Amino acid sequence: MIGTLDAKIPSGPLAEKWTNHKDHSRLISPNNRRKFEIIVVGSGLAGGSAAATLGELGYRVKCFCYQDSPRRAHSIAAQGGINAAKNYQNDGDSVYRLFHDTIKGGDFRSREANVYRLAEVSTNIIDQCVAQGVPFAREYSGLLANRSFGGAQVSRTFYARGQTGQQLLLGCYQALCRQIAAGTVQMFPQTEMLDLVIVAGHAKGIIARSLRSGKIEKYAADAVVLATGGYGNVFYLSTNARGCNVTATYRAFKKGALFANPCFTQIHPTCIPVSGEHQSKLTLMSESLRNDGRVWVPKRKEDCAKPPNEIPENERDYYLERKYPSYGNLAPRDISSRAAKEVCDEGRGIGPGGRGVYLDFADAIKRLGENTIRERYGNLFEVYEKITGEDAYRVPMRIYPAVHYTMGGLWVDYDLMSNVPGLFVIGEANFSDHGANRLGASALMQGLADGYFILPYTLPNYLAGQIGKRPPADSPEFQKAEGEVRARVKKLLDVDGKRSLDSIHRELGLLLWDKCGMARNAKGLGEALQRIPELREKFWREVQVPGDGEDFNQSLERAGRLADFLEFAELMCTDALARDESSGAHFREEHQTPDGEALRDDGNHAAVFAWEFQSDNGHIAPPKVHREPLHFETVHLTQRSYK
């Protein structure tokens, strides 16, 4: 069904591609827009901004989210900030530099054209958010403040306390509310997409279940936009919200959409370490802390059990500063995470289980005073104290890496449309902009860029040819898909085993963290690929899902999501095994430089691996890979160096 993957990158010089493309994109006249129904699944920064903007343009939008309100989407939890090439600090920033930092940060595994466009529209995002009333931090002059963030040598990050994601999401939620009130957007909260409906090869609707009533309904549309976030919860423990899941994108994958680079999962270096088996989620401590905190472990293993203040300065190993003198504690996420894992593997980790490193503010407090530190990070220190019971003004924080973001996602072309016509994928759910590693403060940027400024221009390229082609919601394709969803729900309820969802999910998570986490190798991945199907069988034999389907049933919701994770995990490990190189967050132990850095193989792997679902008699068969070669016309591929 799929020929060669064509990303449809516009021709012309890099800096002019987007403008040229917009100039030649198709348009839909205002009075025709209301004839189109658009489904947007997800109401985070990408989905919310897309739904609001499309509604504003006059399309009829149906927006779905599993949360009880669109304001609770997980974008809300982003702390640090949002990048934009405004160069307000006069420190040499530019669109090109933001582009270059992002593509280098992604270890040259993303598309030049997409990333350049992202950097280009970044400035519009800040204008838009300020106009919406987002209370960004300001200087006494009344002008916007910036801070620096990992992986960059300029200050280009805009922020609102440690709650930037919340404020940006509320801005876009409010824009969405305005459209809901205007009647252009119909909101379906607590409604979960369980399947994609394809009619004559085009995505024309979804099947969704109301989590409140249990009712399963068919929704037809002219195009479907997925903005359903990442799949980090496949690891069970992650910084994602409990409800984040892969179901929407995985269902689309099973209906023929390609899943690109699923092995690119970001492990964030600054999270609060795991404290015990009961743990249900991990909490991120914003990367911005690394601006003033110094990361260290004891030089000698024997010192690890000592209280940190009894370890003298010369017995401490500030390993990030030692290894990466020019970026120091601000080295990119993948590099910092791996460095932490390394020192812990050497037995120099601190805290319970030896899986932790110190993030020490003593120097910053001495230099700037406790009040300044309190002003900058007060709320983060409070969160830390609530969770650990420790006062980080007195004793250094303990941190350890945790799963945070997934760069992989559904494959999309330059128009953000997947290989399935009519299926658009935006935000974290697609794969397009972050390559093998995402830089801090760029997820918010991408979500809003896609929703406010890219999709509204590119969607008409598809819609223009689709006037009057929306099928009725009771056409056979919808009925078939609905039947499948109902059968699946029934199958889950009928297992009637003894094992709890959490215990199976935890087992899957541990397996993936071990074999497909911060470091991977062929042997481990092979083992994982063997054990995942076994675990999946166990799930379908032994899982216990109480209650029934026609009701509010949280166990059933989770069971459906876990069933998809159990299939998706295999895809992720397959991709990790196929990508026989190290790049960014994907660190294959077989491929490293003598000093332990990721060693890319640009000859064979400068490509997107996009996977096509295959089935064999109703069973999952090994997926088929399609490669989209990445062409770099502007940047030079270099070994990333943050030394």
Partner 1 sequence: MNFRLRVWRQPNAKAAGRLVDYEARDISPNTSFLEMLDIVNENLLARAEEPIAFDSDCREGICGTCSLTINGEAHGPDHPGAVCELYMRKFRDGETIIIEPFRVRSFPIIKDLVIDRSALDRIVQAGGFISARAGSAPEANSIPIPKHDADLSMEAAACIGCGACAAACPNASAMLFTAAKVSHLSLVPQGNPERVRRVLKMVHVMDAEGFGNCTNTYECEAVCPAEISASFIAKLNREYMRARLRASAGD
Nearer to partner 1 by C-beta: 135 or 596?
135
Q: Indicate which single residue of 18, 28, 56, 111 sits in contact with partner 1 (rule: CB under 8 A).
A: 56
Nearest distance, CB of residue 377 and partner 1, angstroms = 15
Closest CA to 234 of 226, 244, 224, 225: 244
What's the order of all strands across the beta sheet hosting 357-360?
A: 265-271, 397-406, 357-360, 294-298, 316-317
Among 126, 221, 443, 577, binds partner 1 (CB under 8 A): 126
- 139 is a site residue for partner 1 (CB under 8 A): yes
Interhelix angle 45-57/164-182, nearest 10 degrees: 30
Residue 556 to residue 544: CA distance in whole angstroms:
9
- Beta carbon of residue 416, minimum distance to partner 1 (angstroms, whole number): 16
Closest to partner 1 by CB, 555 vs 634, is 555
Shortest distance (Å) from residue 56 CB to partner 1? 6
Closest CB to partner 1 among residues 254, 281: 281
Site for partner 1 in 434-473 (CB under 8 A): 452-453, 456
Q: Does 33 bind partner 1 (CB under 8 A)?
A: no
Buried b (16+ CB within 10 A) or exposed e, 413-446: bbbbbbbbbbbbbbbbbbbbbbbbbbbbbbbbbb
Q: Which of 197, 257, 284, 423 binds partner 1 (CB under 8 A)?
A: 284
Q: Is 25 an interacting residue with respect to partner 1 (CB under 8 A)? A: no
Cβ-based nearer residue to partner 1, 14 or 172: 172
Name residues contacting partner 1, limited to 82-101 (CB under 8 A): 86, 88
> Which one of 30-38, 303-311, 339-347, 550-558 is the stretch in contact with partner 1 (CB under 8 A)?
550-558
- In the complex, what is the shortest distance from the CB of residue 144 to partner 1, in angstroms, rounded to a whole number? 6
Q: How far is 159 from 7, CA to CA, in rounded Å?
A: 33
What are the CA-CA distances from residue 618 to residues 206, 421, 480, 492, 614 (Å)?
21, 24, 15, 17, 9
Q: Return d(Cα 408, Cα 430) in angstroms, integer.
A: 7
DSSP state of 592: B
Q: Is there a contact between 485 and 216 (Cβ–Cβ < 8 Å)?
A: yes
Q: Cα dist. 92→87, 89, 139, 198, 208 in Å?
A: 7, 8, 20, 48, 48
Cα 305 from Cα 410, distance rounded (Å): 45
Q: Which C-beta is closer to partner 1: that of 390 or that of 477?
A: 390
Q: With respect to partner 1, which residue has the nearer C-beta, 553 or 582?
A: 553
When binding is defined by CB under 8 A, the residue of 23, 30, 131, 603 that contacts partner 1 is 131
Query: Given the rule CB under 8 A, which of 18-26, 234-242, 288-296, 614-622 is the region that contacts partner 1?
Result: 234-242
φ, ψ for residue 398, nearest 5 deg = -105, 130
Pairwise CA distance, residues 186 & 180, whole Å:
6
**Which part of the chain contacts partner 1 (CB under 8 A), choosing from 4-12, 19-27, 156-164, 525-533?**
156-164
By CB under 8 A, the residues from 58 to 87 that bind partner 1 are 67-72, 74, 76-77, 86
Least CB distance from residue 175 to partner 1, whole Å? 6
When asked if residue 110 is in the footprint of partner 1 (CB under 8 A), the reply is no
Residue selected from 34, 242, 624, 643 as contacting partner 1 according to rule CB under 8 A: 242
583-622 binders of partner 1 (CB under 8 A): none
Interface residue with partner 1 among 391, 552, 593, 614 (CB under 8 A) is: 552
132 in contact with partner 1 (CB under 8 A): yes
Min dist. Cβ of residue 93 to partner 1 (A):
14
Phi/psi of residue 397, nearest 5 degrees: -65, 150
| Residues in 262-281 at the binding interface with partner 1, rule: CB under 8 A | 275-276, 278-281
Q: What are the contacts of 592-601 at 24+ separation with CB within 8 A?
A: 593/639, 596/338, 596/342, 597/335, 597/639, 597/640, 598/107, 598/334, 598/640, 599/639, 600/107, 600/108, 600/637, 600/639
With 0-12 / 13-18 / 19 or more C-beta atoms within 10 angstroms meaning exposed / middle / buried, residue 499 is: middle
Residues 360-389, one symbol each (x = binds partner 1 by CB under 8 A, - = not), give: -----------------------x--xxxx
CA distances from 186 to 61, 197, 261, 467, 504 (A): 6, 20, 33, 21, 37
Please say which residue, 212 or 624, places its beta carbon nearer to partner 1: 212
Among 186, 521, 555, 592, binds partner 1 (CB under 8 A): 555
Of 384-423, binders to partner 1 (CB under 8 A) are 386-389
Q: Which residues contact 132 (CB under 8 A, 6 or more apart)?
A: 171, 172, 174, 175
State the nearest-atom distance from the C-beta of 413 to partner 1, in Å.
22
Answer for which of 26, 215, 498, 643 binds partner 1 (CB under 8 A) is 498
Minimum gap (Å) between residue 372 Cβ and partner 1: 15
Cβ(229)–Cβ(241) under 8 Å?
no
Number of neighbouring beta carbons within 10 Å of residue 201: 11
Q: Choose among 128, 122, 134, 136: nearest CA to 53.
A: 128
Binders of partner 1 in range 190-219 (CB under 8 A) = 212
Q: Which of 12, 135, 483, 629 binds partner 1 (CB under 8 A)?
A: 135
> What residues are labeled active site?
333
Amino acid at 227: A
Instruction: Determine, following the binding rule CB under 8 A, whether residue 337 of this chain makes contact with partner 1.
Output: no
**Binding residues among 160-189 for partner 1 as defined by CB under 8 A:** 160-161, 163, 166-167, 170, 173-175, 177-178, 180-181, 187, 189
Angle at 641 between CA 638 and CA 643, to 5 degrees: 155
